[in-house]
Amino acid sequence: MEQFKVVMNDNEIPTQWYNIQADMPTPMKPPLHPGTGKPLGPDDLAPVFPMNLIEQEVSQERWIDIPFEVLEKYLLWRPTPLYRARNFEKLLGAPVKIYFKHEGISPAGSHKPNTAVPQAYYNKVFGIKRIATETGAGQWGSALAMACKMFDLECRVYMVRVSYEQKPYRRLMMNTWGAECIPSPSTLTNAGRNVLAAHPDSPGSLGIAISEAVEDAVTHENSRYSLGSVLNHVLMHQTIIGLEAQKQMKTLGIYPDVVIGCAGGGSNFAGIALPFARDKIHGKKVTIIGAEPASCPTMTKGPFAYDFGDLAKMTPLLPMYTLGHDFVPAPIHAGGLRYHGMAPVISHLVREKVMEARAYDQLETFDAGVKWARTEGFIPAPETNHAIAAVVDEARRAKEEGKEKVILFDWSGHGLVDLASYDAYLSGKLEAYELPDEEIQRALKAIEGLPKP
């Protein structure tokens, strides 16, 4: 019988993360200090992150050892299985073989614990007692809540208000793991109060919630901030996904023609894609696609520019694709993809044409996700549905071109806490929404006058 899934043993788990900095085809632009506009030094980040994570952020080493204490926690759900989506392939009727990494089996239900666990660990080792963070859909907040409990740290999560209201169960997961969850914008920070004064009904955004969490961390004793995406060290922690996938595909004697991940801040996409991007930089032929929402088309419509990661301009200026730091995306259901910027590493690789990006409307993504659930069983997160829409798109292209293709994608999380969004889709209440060009031009005014990369 043909093998449908590859399950690795505990002792086959990768013991190092991959750092693409060592293989970049051209040097990346440095992040800049938000006040001086000069390249940022490690000490500038010290009030916000513990130094052991800052060292990872700036490291140029190709391989970084995963501490034993982190591996021990990873083994609760890793290595994750690699599946072949035979039934979905049949439905599509295209000449494609589709493989997916199932990151939805983690305790929090997505890829996010892959970085939450090491971030909590490194904070603990550095002597930190409390972590503040933000969350969009609640996947990151719940992952960090769990990881903080594992290492006995306090945790406060600022959750984008629209998601807080759409997804009460995510808050309850955070509470169950012992964390506090606050709807953002809140009255607990200057950043939140300023937004509420101007827009009392603000649905919130990741940019606002980041400002609140950073402010919270730097104004509380023994606290640090933690980010669930965008930064180099976060992307590096996620490479365990792609490294496992490479081993698993090798046991099947295959290599993908196409690698796909959905992208919010870029860590999930990076996780599956960076080990394959390394191969591509060294000559291998593989198409690498990041799938983003048409309502927040950072890579497909935004310029590559220096911009802040947050609304209150507290973060460094990052060289990235951006829609402007005061952009508030429409309240679509894929809360984890509603971010105005994109990880500098991903932005750089898209500019270098190692990777490419495509945008999908939420109706198209739910259509793909429901087809998936009805063939493969597992109900995907709304974010994951963007990757599935890209798989459908690639399968259609393969059919048109009459070419056989092997597609690998990251099934980044399950949608069992997102069923309200399926309810909206199934009852015809979900609307298509493409961001109008005028709105992009308006939002981009926020970056006028900032340094140019």
Ligand X SMILES: Cc1ncc(COP(=O)(O)O)c(C=O)c1O
Quick check: 136 binds ligand X (CB under 6 A)? yes
DSSP state of 67: P
**Judged by CB under 6 A, which stretch of 36-44, 80-88, 266-274, 275-283 contacts ligand X?**
266-274
Taking a C-beta distance cutoff of 8 angstroms, is the pair 124, 149 a contact? Answer: no
Per CB under 6 A, contacts with ligand X among 204-233 are 229
Cβ-closest position to ligand X: 336
Quick check: 262 binds ligand X (CB under 6 A)? yes
CB closer to ligand X, 415 vs 453: 415
CB closer to ligand X, 328 vs 417: 417
Quick check: 239 binds ligand X (CB under 6 A)? no
DSSP state of 182: E
**Judged by CB under 6 A, which stretch of 40-48, 123-131, 265-273, 350-358 contacts ligand X?**
265-273
Query: Of 118, 204, 256, 264, which one interacts with ligand X (CB under 6 A)?
Result: 264
> Count of CB atoms within 10 A of residue 26's CB?
8
Query: Of 184, 246, 268, 365, which one interacts with ligand X (CB under 6 A)?
Result: 268
Quick check: 336 binds ligand X (CB under 6 A)? yes
Report long-range pairs for 419-423 (Cβ below 8 Å, ≥24 apart): 419/379, 420/166, 420/167, 421/166, 421/333, 421/366, 421/382, 422/366, 422/369, 422/370, 422/379
Degrees to nearest 5, angle at CA 100 with 97 and 105: 155
Distance CA 271, CA 257 (A): 17
**Residue with token string 């614990």:** 113
Give the list of residues 6+ apart from residue 235 with CB closer than 8 angstroms, or none.
20, 229, 266, 267, 270, 271, 274, 343, 345, 346
Taking a C-beta distance cutoff of 8 angstroms, is the pair 238, 106 a contact? Answer: no
Query: Of 133, 166, 184, 267, which one interacts with ligand X (CB under 6 A)?
Result: 267
**Residue with token string 């051209």:** 26
Quick check: 113 binds ligand X (CB under 6 A)? no
CB closer to ligand X, 79 vs 136: 136
Taking a C-beta distance cutoff of 8 angstroms, is the pair 195, 208 a contact? Answer: yes
Query: Of 71, 82, 117, 137, which one interacts with ligand X (CB under 6 A)?
Result: 137
Degrees to nearest 5, angle at CA 112 with 111 and 117: 115
Quick check: 166 binds ligand X (CB under 6 A)? no
Site map 337..356 versus ligand X, x via CB under 6 A: x-------------------
Smallest distance from the beta carbon of 306 to ligand X, in angstroms? Answer: 20
Taking a C-beta distance cutoff of 8 angstroms, is the pair 392, 88 a contact? Answer: no
Quick check: 133 binds ligand X (CB under 6 A)? no
Query: Of 106, 110, 189, 315, which one interacts with ligand X (CB under 6 A)?
Result: 110
Smallest distance from the beta carbon of 232 to ligand X, in angstroms? Answer: 13
Q: Which of 65, 169, 66, 70 lies closest to 116 in space, CA to CA? A: 70
CB closer to ligand X, 139 vs 186: 139
**Judged by CB under 6 A, which stretch of 16-24, 93-101, 207-215, 378-386 contacts ligand X?**
378-386
Q: How many residues does the chain have?
A: 453
Taking a C-beta distance cutoff of 8 angstroms, is the pair 92, 374 a contact? Answer: no
Smallest distance from the beta carbon of 143 to ligand X, in angstroms? Answer: 9
Per CB under 6 A, contacts with ligand X among 73-102 are none
Distance CA 39, CA 122 (A): 25
Quick check: 236 binds ligand X (CB under 6 A)? no
Quick check: 413 binds ligand X (CB under 6 A)? yes
CB closer to ligand X, 140 vs 321: 140
Taking a C-beta distance cutoff of 8 angstroms, is the pair 72, 111 a contact? Answer: no
Site map 276..315 versus ligand X, x via CB under 6 A: ----------------------------------------
* Interface positions with ligand X (CB under 6 A): 110, 136-137, 139-140, 229, 262-269, 336-337, 381, 383-384, 412-413
